[in-house]
Amino acid sequence: MMTQLLDRPWPGSAPPTVFVGRNRRGNWVAREQGGAFGGLFVNRAQALKYALVENGGHRESIIEVTREIELDIWANS
């Protein structure tokens, strides 16, 4: 699992949206909409668990996608 940790920008505001889905290799990906954090996982349950922890437990802000999704670790560099 790869994670980029940043200060949580959402205290008092809407929690971040996290996309969960599979990449082209079949791995599960959880990625914050703007690329602030994300990770690769071997199964859906672990990706969803990570997404919940990272967004403060807001299930309504997790979107499972059916299209391929990639983890771009260079987005914020």
Domain ranges of the chain: 1-77
| Residue 52 to residues 11, 21, 59, 60, 76, Cα–Cα distance (Å) | 15, 14, 7, 10, 22
List pLDDT tens digits, range 22-76.
999 999 999 999 888 999 999 999 999 999 999 999 999 999 999 999 998 665 5
| Residue 50 to residues 22, 45, 72, 77, Cα–Cα distance (Å) | 15, 9, 17, 22
List pLDDT tens digits, range 8-19.
555 567 899 999
Query: Quick check: pTM over 0.85?
Result: no
Count CA within 13 A, CB hemisphere, residue 43.
3
- What is residue 51's three-state secondary structure? helix
